[in-house]
Amino acid sequence: MLGRRSPQRQLFDSQNLPHRVPADSFYGRMAAVSDTLFSDDDLQAMYCADNGRPSLPPALMSGVLLLQFYDDVSDEEASERAKFDRRWQVALNLPLDYLGFDPSSLSYFRKRLVEHGQERYAFDRLVAVGRAAGFIPDTVTVLIDTTWTKGAGAVQDTYTLLRKGIRKLLRDMGYATPGKRRGLSTPVQALVASYLDRDHKADIDWADPQQRSAQLKVLVQDAESALELADACSDDPDVRATGWLLTKILGDDVVEDDQGDPQIGKGTATERIISITDPDMQHGRKSKAQRFNGYKVAVATEASSDMILDVADVPASGSDGAHLVPAVQRIEEHASVTVERVIGDGAFGSGENLAACANYPAHPVDLLTPIARPQDGTVDKSAFQIDLEAGLATCPHGHTVVGQPTSQSPDQAGLRFTFPRAGCEACPEFAACVRSKSAGRTVQTGAYESYLQAQRKRQSLPEFRAEYRTRSRVERKQAELVQHGIRHTRYLGGGKRQLQRLWTGAVVNLKCLFRLAEIKNVDLRLIRHGLEGSMA
């Protein structure tokens, strides 16, 4: 049943007594709006209306959760600070003799938020305040970028993945219960005992390739035996999920040699599983030199106010540009604004994105992004004059050829222009232009070439460079998110990961609201009124 904070003030309320918490600190400013920052009624749908013991007030728990992400502390530390830290007590307007709550209450509260689709509650509420206060205009320019985050699980090698996967599959099938093992055949009993009665790597010389190979063969055979047992429990969703996980590990990491023996495969499979504990984790790259294991966080800010309009947990692998259009859609849906322009780095500058923004439903979106050009002194494709309508391409030295279609599919239609080898060899830029050892220079266009041509021309203008410089402000906002712990994923599961991203974004937005109110000489009561009406 929904519990509510009493509107009755007490003698020992922290805000009623002298304290040394600065009024211009985050805690002091949060105290000024604590009575309207969150509302119990906003989350009443998460609780039974007429049955059960009253819950901890959701407005209070929301405030505690916000402070937890602000200070980047554990559930246990958050519980302790609510009881003993004067800054937290002032920010939450708690009495000095507050008895506190069990740390598990925060875990249950987060779970309830995710189960009822309220993980966006604090984030959307504070964006609505920015709109109500006039800090966020109706038509916005969005700055977008991604940053990396660590996963919540340990990165494991193939041997550990197989061993942990077999163990998890057997546990999901119920074999951890002694009664479940009755009547099993001797080989199955031995398999179950090997993985459930102990959990450690085999006692072999791991520096010996032959012993490693023999151990891999044992693990693969045991994995296949466990998957055969799982076929009888195919109706159980947990068994199916773990069985798929183990099958994918076998498919991604293990190959057979000429003798039919299993070997560790070379290279890394796409979306390879790297942790049984956190199976959504992936290998990722932010550059050729920077690799990481975990996830990415896509962050979109509003250019004039620097408030975050969208923050999303996304897979570590794949292109950053794939998250552009979904971010624009979420911003317009949740913030009730019109995205007029998006500024992003070269990872967002694909022809597909340019076309999607130009043909965005209801209104076009201006995508301001550079198109990558080679920096090694080679002759770039942009140096050629390509007439798409006439199907002609002219090289920098005036040689023209006719293009040939590369595909019959309309959505992939393109042209291939092949220059004669003899003419290319006579050119002074032959070495910098032609890479083939037998043919001349080849230039190919795709379905989005017209959009790419326009963008290449645009990025050479001074106006483009001046506007593009503003993109760096989203990186500062990412650094602020990192300061509050977003680099370290706390929870398992997509819903809770997204909750961490959004509530950390809410912390940064609340700080931004306080800063904007001071810069624009707006009384905090305006934000209070915005808070009162934002969820009406």
Chain segment 388-446, per-residue pLDDT in tens? 889 999 999 899 999 988 875 656 678 999 999 988 998 998 989 998 888 999 999 98
469 and 450 share one domain:
no
Confidence (pTM): 0.89
Chain segment 335-385, per-residue pLDDT in tens? 999 999 999 999 999 999 999 999 999 899 999 999 877 766 788 888 899
Asked whether residue 290 is assigned to any structural domain, the reply reads no
436 and 475 share one domain:
no
149 and 12 share one domain:
no
481 and 445 share one domain:
no
CB atoms within 10 A of CB 138: 9
Question: Is residue 518 pLDDT above 50, yes or no?
Answer: yes
Asked whether residue 343 is assigned to any structural domain, the reply reads yes
Q: CA torsion angle for 6, 8, 11, 15 (degrees, to 10)?
A: 70
Domain that holds residue 33: 1-118
Supply the mean pLDDT for the chain.
90
Q: How many angstroms separate the CA atoms of 262 and 12, rounded? A: 70
Output the CA torsion sign for 146, 152, 156, 160.
negative
Asked whether residue 375 is assigned to any structural domain, the reply reads no
14 and 77 share one domain:
yes
3 and 107 share one domain:
yes
Q: How many angstroms separate the CA atoms of 493 and 172, rounded? A: 18
Chain segment 451-491, per-residue pLDDT in tens? 999 999 899 899 999 999 999 999 999 999 999 999 999 99
113 and 171 share one domain:
no
Asked whether residue 217 is assigned to any structural domain, the reply reads yes
51 and 191 share one domain:
no
Asked whether residue 291 is assigned to any structural domain, the reply reads no
Q: 217, 249, 264: which is the final residue of a domain?
A: 264
Res. 535 pLDDT band, cuts 50 70 90:
very low
Q: CA torsion angle for 489, 490, 492, 498 (degrees, to 10)?
A: -70
Cβ partners under 8 Å of residue 427, min gap 6: 395, 397, 433
Check if the beta carbon of residue 338 is closer than 8 Å to that of residue 167.
no
Asked whether residue 149 is assigned to any structural domain, the reply reads yes
Provide the number of structural domains found in the chain: 4
Which CATH number does the domain housing residue 332 bear? Answer: 3.30.420.10
Chain segment 183-239, per-residue pLDDT in tens? 888 888 899 999 998 888 889 999 999 999 999 999 999 999 999 998 877 788 999
Asked whether residue 24 is assigned to any structural domain, the reply reads yes
Asked whether residue 430 is assigned to any structural domain, the reply reads yes
